[in-house]
Amino acid sequence: MIGLESIRKLSRVSATKIVLLVVDGVGGLPFVRTGKTELETAHKPNLDSIASEAICGLVDTVGTGITPGSAPGHLSLFGYDPIRYDIGRGVLEAVGIDTKLVPGDVAARGNFCTVDGKGIITDRRAGRISTEENARICRILSGIKVKGCEVQVLPVKEHRFVLILRGEGLSPGLTATDPQQVGLSPLGAEALSSEAEKTAGMVNDFVAQAEEKLRGERFANMVLMRGFSSLPDIPTMPEIYKLKAAAIAVYPMYRGLARLAGMEVLPAGEDISGQMESLRRYYTDYDFFFIHFKKTDSRGEDGDFEAKVRAIEELDSALPALLDLRPEVLIVTGDHSTPAALSGHSWHPVPFMLRSRWCRPDKVSEFSEPACLAGGMGRFPATEIMPLAMANALKLDKFGA
Amino acid sequence: MIGLESIRKLSRVSATKIVLLVVDGVGGLPFVRTGKTELETAHKPNLDSIASEAICGLVDTVGTGITPGSAPGHLSLFGYDPIRYDIGRGVLEAVGIDTKLVPGDVAARGNFCTVDGKGIITDRRAGRISTEENARICRILSGIKVKGCEVQVLPVKEHRFVLILRGEGLSPGLTATDPQQVGLSPLGAEALSSEAEKTAGMVNDFVAQAEEKLRGERFANMVLMRGFSSLPDIPTMPEIYKLKAAAIAVYPMYRGLARLAGMEVLPAGEDISGQMESLRRYYTDYDFFFIHFKKTDSRGEDGDFEAKVRAIEELDSALPALLDLRPEVLIVTGDHSTPAALSGHSWHPVPFMLRSRWCRPDKVSEFSEPACLAGGMGRFPATEIMPLAMANALKLDKFGA
């Protein structure tokens, strides 16, 4: 496939707009009694009407048989090979709470845990303490000073937190302090190369001070660190595609991923109607919009087929506000499937459609898994979506003479 | 595509079973008078019934336009890129007679040939001597002693034999002694690097002693060696997929290939009913079974359309024994096509189907080339079969967070 460097050379600025609507976890599996998937079951006249004017297909965001997490699923939709651009766990955790990292920051995922009198781990998750207790402990640890860097300790959820070290000359090449099992002592962080030695010392200093401050705490009295990582060195969407790109997402994880790709983050309100309102307000200011709809994934994760059907219908009824703007290129797809039957993400390819004046529409007139299989794109990797979108927006020059 | 190293990280053990039924050479071409392929002509209610509950497609085991040999065809089905994992000719010849090689062995393919009084080759295949005559000569050559290694000389068929050198510090980096044409003398084996010099000397010693022992033989009086190779350094299926894998194959070549991939070889009896009996007996002991059905390929090679149709029907009628076991994942496909019209292997993609509770079935209800083209997998590379099988067996973790 053609690489990002080639796309960068071919891309050009134009007045057309691209809207990428990501319906999280939209792909499904047939309901046993009806043989129909969530999409086939939903009443969704707007989505079906787009399909009848679009070129359709089924996308694999990571690869055949691979169940994508949210990060690789979205990176792939933004045009990045998710195998090559593997984002570290610490960065993802920071991104997931919408924290802005700067290049050179080292982020790590932390667990609050419990240790006995001899320092042996007795519960790696401290009984999944409440998020409120987590926030209280994070405030205690925020007082820690480490020489040579600035320390941030941010609560995530239950026993999970993020540690961010900011300073000059830091390196994420460190081993975890989490031995990943109870009955052992926490490990010291070790540098994987000489350039990370200074950072290893800082992490071990932080952990020693944390142990001191948490001594005598009732629910969690120690920390375990892993997934040390820094912002990946990825070319941004404005660099590759010369797009002024914006994200309209309600959940912090997706705003964070969009920021990694170089998008600006716009207000999103609290639901899809708030997102549509934001799209209308900022429509003239950007030429690429990523809109993220979460509820399909959440209801799929719940294993609630009917609720996922209703989420699709809720999205459908919000679409006229988007359609009224007549974006030159409109894409609707998902980052992965989340069949209610599996109560979780799955490997199944995701329905896709792209509508534009130049899309060469196929015969598909329904946005669903079996219908899209017969579409003009067939089954294809999601990293091809952005080049296709750019082409349909007439934003890509000819390749070669 | 995602690599074996990534799959290894994602794979996990579970109680589900995967059965891979390889119908050798199953793909075909239309019979001139009816316009139907062997599969379309055969009466095969069981295969068609599986298709109607499965996700179907057409696989390329090596690549578009490439006619696969049995080795790359099978390696690809087992998940190995057949371009990268190229097995040497000597090893294949050894594997093909079910010989167990150990790491460090150097195997070579040998031809018995005839030379004239001046040592000039007059027939590179010694008039394709009988296999019995071959065996007799091999017994003569088995007496050869070479310093520093153990020598095995094993008959294959007609003029073909295998030479195996076993010892410390051997290297297969040698040139052939076979000049590949008559009218020339056999060449000396030359080392391609300094580490192979010792082995080159051993091979040349073996050849000199063979020449001596065969002097005066009536039908074959010299040997030609080529394809020096050692066991490839490939990760095994138990390592990659954490599967306890077994092969049930009647023919030695396929048992040998399965062994290369780390499968255990089970008794197979003499035909498909013996294979089904073995499957039933060992069903609880393994979680992956490779079952090889040969007759479709043999009858295709014969150019006998009707006989190939009957071979498909014979397989079909043996299937209930397999279906009764209700494997969680059942795959039926082939290693390549062998159209009777071509009397040999061909490049045409091979019908594929995978049945599982989670397969997202398509509308295909017939196991044939044109029907599978409309399947949910479309046309795809065979190396994606194992990740898909693992996913459907719920044996793969999510990729990324």
Tens-digit pLDDT profile for residues A88-144: 889 989 988 888 899 999 999 999 999 999 999 999 999 999 999 999 999 999 999
Is residue B86's pLDDT more than 90? no
Q: Provide residues of A within 8 Å CB-CB of chain B.
A: 29-30, 62-73, 82-83, 86-87, 89, 92, 96, 339, 341-342, 344-348, 369-370, 373-374, 378-379
**Contact by Cβ (8 Å): B209, B229:** no
Fold for B4-87+233-392, please state it.
Alkaline Phosphatase, subunit A (3.40.720)
Q: Which residues of B touch A86 (CB under 8 A)?
A: 400
Partner residue opposite A67 with nearest CB, options B361, B376, B391: B391
Measured in angstroms, the CA of A391 and the nearest CA of chain B are apart by: 24
A263 class by beta-carbon count within 10 Å (0-12 exposed, 13-18 middle, 19+ buried): buried
Q: Which residues of B touch A70 (CB under 8 A)?
A: 400-401
Closest alpha carbon within chain B to A253: B401
Kindly indicate the confidence band of residue B51, based on its pLDDT and cuts at 50, 70 and 90: very high
- The candidate with the shortest Cα–Cα distance to A81, out of A4, A161, A149, A5, is A4
Kindly indicate the confidence band of residue B62, based on its pLDDT and cuts at 50, 70 and 90: very high
Is residue B10's pLDDT more than 80? yes
Kindly indicate the confidence band of residue B401, based on its pLDDT and cuts at 50, 70 and 90: confident
Q: Do A64 and B362 touch (CB under 8 A)?
A: no
Closest alpha carbon within chain B to A28: B360
C-alpha A333/C-alpha A346 separation (Å) is 15
Q: Please report, for chain A, the start and end positions of each structural domain, with discontinuous segments joined by +.
A: 4-87+233-392, 91-229
Return the pLDDT at A1: 66
Return the pLDDT at A2: 79
Is residue A12's pLDDT more than 70? yes
The SS3 of residue B297 is: helix
> Model ipTM?
0.89
CA distance readout (Å), B177 to A111, A307, B68, B112, B326: 64, 72, 27, 12, 53
* Chain B contact probe: residue of A29, A40, A66, A254 with most B CBs at under 10 A: A66
Report, as an integer, the average pLDDT of B264-287: 97
Kindly indicate the confidence band of residue A322, based on its pLDDT and cuts at 50, 70 and 90: very high
C-alpha B362/C-alpha B380 separation (Å) is 16
How many CB pairs lie under 8 A apart between chains A and B?
A: 84
User: How does DSSP assign A282-342, residue by residue?
Assistant: HGGG-SEEEEEE-HHHHHHHTT-HHHHHHHHHHHHHHHHHHHTT--SEEEEE-SSB--GGG
Partner residue opposite A370 with nearest CB, options B363, B378, B391: B363
pLDDT in tens, A131-173: 999 999 999 999 999 999 999 999 998 999 999 999 999 999 9
Report, as an integer, the average pLDDT of B352-362: 97
Measured in angstroms, the CA of B387 and the nearest CA of chain A are apart by: 5
Partner residue opposite B2 with nearest CB, options A66, A70, A71: A66
Measured in angstroms, the CA of A123 and the nearest CA of chain B are apart by: 23
Report, as an integer, the average pLDDT of B259-263: 94
C-alpha B229/C-alpha A346 separation (Å) is 42
Q: Which residues of B touch A374 (CB under 8 A)?
A: 374
- The candidate with the shortest Cα–Cα distance to A159, out of A182, A129, A116, A189, is A129
Is residue A360's pLDDT more than 90? yes
Q: Which residues of B touch A370 (CB under 8 A)?
A: 362-363, 376
Q: Do B384 and A65 touch (CB under 8 A)?
A: yes
Partner residue opposite B388 with nearest CB, options A64, A87, A373: A64
Average model confidence (pLDDT) for chain B?
96
C-alpha A104/C-alpha A91 separation (Å) is 11
Kindly indicate the confidence band of residue B369, based on its pLDDT and cuts at 50, 70 and 90: very high
Return the pLDDT at A401: 82
**Contact by Cβ (8 Å): B321, B46:** no
Q: Do B396 and A347 touch (CB under 8 A)?
A: yes
C-alpha B368/C-alpha B365 separation (Å) is 9
| Main-chain phi, psi angles of A42, to 5 degrees | -70, 145
C-alpha A86/C-alpha B252 separation (Å) is 43
Q: Which residues of A touch B378 (CB under 8 A)?
A: 373, 378-379
- The candidate with the shortest Cα–Cα distance to A163, out of A175, A155, A171, is A155
The two three-digit tokens of residue B288, written as one number:
């992956």
Kindly indicate the confidence band of residue B1, based on its pLDDT and cuts at 50, 70 and 90: low
Q: Do A29 and B358 touch (CB under 8 A)?
A: yes
Measured in angstroms, the CA of B378 and the nearest CA of chain A are apart by: 7
| Main-chain phi, psi angles of A308, to 5 degrees | -70, -40
Q: Where are the alpha helices (DSSP H) in B302-351?
A: 305-323
pLDDT in tens, A328-354: 999 999 999 999 999 999 999 999 999
Q: Do A66 and B380 touch (CB under 8 A)?
A: no
Q: Do B400 and A86 touch (CB under 8 A)?
A: yes
Q: Do B388 and A70 touch (CB under 8 A)?
A: no
* Chain B contact probe: residue of A32, A70, A95, A347 with most B CBs at under 10 A: A347
Q: What is the DSSP letter of A146?
A: B
Closest alpha carbon within chain B to A30: B360
Query: CB neighbours (10 Å) of residue B310?
Result: 17
The SS3 of residue A267 is: coil
Stated pTM of the model? 0.91
Q: Which residues of B touch A30 (CB under 8 A)?
A: 360-361
Measured in angstroms, the CA of B194 and the nearest CA of chain A are apart by: 35
Burial B81-94 (b: 16+ CB within 10 A, else e): bbeebebbbbbbbb
* Chain B contact probe: residue of A64, A75, A77, A257 with most B CBs at under 10 A: A64
Q: Do B1 and A63 touch (CB under 8 A)?
A: yes
**Contact by Cβ (8 Å): B399, A396:** no
Query: CB neighbours (10 Å) of residue B371?
Result: 21
Q: Provide residues of B within 8 Å CB-CB of chain A.
A: 1-3, 6, 10, 358, 360-363, 374, 376-378, 380, 384, 386-392, 396-401
